[in-house]
């Protein structure tokens, strides 16, 4: 998956509001994919959200996928309007059983991976 490229300021804050997180493995014939998805409350339409895999750590179980949640403010004047923005992360590595979502180096969500047929 190619990352979005644009000039933007990374937003940081103490807390973040999010909901509807899920992590599941879909089996479509010979292809299996892990999808992690959820909604994040953002403050204006100029904010982009992204989930990126954290660098692996020797002390972490190989069954644990750790993702960093980033918010980027694009330049410009945007109306201040809070709403949910959906985001997802896809991986062909289906060996994960647990997913942790981090924001500002704090775990904000802990998910058990389920399987669909």
Give yes or no for a contact between 41 and 18, defined as CB atoms under 8 angstroms apart. Answer: yes
Phi, psi for residue 99 in degrees, rounded to 5: -125, 135
In the chain, where the domains are located: 9-115
Question: Each residue of 26-74: pLDDT tens digit?
Answer: 988 889 999 999 999 999 999 999 999 998 877 788 999 999 999 999 9
Q: Which of 39, 26, 42 has the alpha carbon at shortest distance from 82?
A: 42
Sheet of 31-42, strand order = 83-91, 31-42, 18-28, 114-115
In whole angstroms, give the CA distance from residue 82 to residue 87.
16
Question: Each residue of 65-109: pLDDT tens digit?
Answer: 999 999 999 999 999 999 899 999 999 999 999 999 999 999 999
DSSP lists the bridge partners of residue 86 as 39
In whole angstroms, give the CA distance from residue 52 to residue 25.
18
Give yes or no for a contact between 26 and 62, defined as CB atoms under 8 angstroms apart. Answer: no
């Amino acid at each position: 998956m190619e990352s979005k490229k644009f000039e933007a300021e990374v937003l940081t804050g103490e807390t973040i509001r999010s909901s509807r997180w899920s992590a599941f493995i879909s089996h479509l014939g010979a292809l299996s994919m892990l999808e992690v998805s959820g909604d994040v409350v953002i403050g204006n339409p100029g904010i982009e959200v992204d989930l990126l895999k954290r660098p692996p750590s020797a002390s972490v179980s190989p069954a644990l996928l750790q993702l960093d949640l980033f918010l980027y403010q694009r330049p410009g004047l945007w109306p201040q309007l809070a709403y949910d923005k959906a985001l997802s992360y896809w991986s062909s590595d289906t060996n994960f059983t647990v997913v942790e979502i981090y924001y500002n180096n704090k775990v904000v969500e802990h998910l058990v991976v389920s399987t669909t047929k």
